[in-house]
Structure 1
Amino acid sequence: MTSSMGIEGDGNGGLAEAKARLSAPIDRVVAGEAAVVTRRGREVARHSAMPGPKRPIDIATLRAVTAAMPLQPEGAATFVRAMWDDERY
């Protein structure tokens, strides 16, 4: 959802208004809305909330998943070199 930051006819907020009243648009962005700033009717910035913190990786689960994977028959350098030499590339 995009939020209006001003009173311009196109529904977007002007840069001067964003400078004058920055806390209200920031509060809406933190609440999950996107905010658009315009300069002379053209969109110049789009603000959205930062993603939440990443979950920590469970090392035991990671080891269990990788232990179940088969070993590759060749090293990465050999594999990439073969891809480069392949006719498709």
Structure 2
Amino acid sequence: MKTVTLEQAQKQLDKLIDLIAAGEEVTITLDGHPVARMAAPRLLQQLPSLADLRARLPMQTESAGDFIRRLRDSERY
């Protein structure tokens, strides 16, 4: 992890961006205290497609309206 002052960061922003793109993490300090940390974004995990999920769900035998009416009319409510 590279640490630079705010002045250095302003002067060398293009070089810092190259470091970050290469996977380096950069901390910017002001008066000796860290005020910012810059790092390349983590890649998001690829989520399965919604169509695949729907294809694996069992087919419903009852309409949504009938299901809600059955729940509403049950003794629980």
Same fold, judged at TM 0.5 (above): yes
- Structure 1: segments with no counterpart, 5+ residues: 5-11, 69-74, 76-89
- Structure 2: segments with no counterpart, 5+ residues: 59-67, 69-77
Q: Let me know the Cα RMSD of the aligned residues.
A: 2.4
- TM-score normalised to structure 1 length: 0.54
Q: Which has the larger radius of gyration?
A: 2
Share of identical aligned residues, percent?
Answer: 31
Deviations 1:33-54 (A, max 9, x none): 1110001110000001123366
Deviations 1:27-84 (A, max 9, x none): 111111111000111000000112336646423321144x15xxxxxx8xxxxxxxxx
Partner amino acid for 1:44? V
Give distance in 2, aligned partners of 1:20 and 1:13: 11
Give distance in 2, aligned partners of 1:29 and 1:60: 36
Equivalent residues, number = 59
Partner of 1:21: 12
Greater helix percent: which structure?
A: 2
Stretches of 4+ aligned residues off by more than 4 angstroms: none
Counterpart secondary structure, 2:20: helix
- Please report how far the alpha carbon of residue 26 of structure 1 lies from its aligned counterpart in structure 2 after TM superposition: 0.9
- TM-score normalised to structure 2 length: 0.61
Partner amino acid for 2:34? E
Q: Which moved more, 1:15-24 or 1:50-59?
A: 50-59
Is residue 63 from structure 1 mapped to residue 54 from structure 2 by the alignment?
A: yes
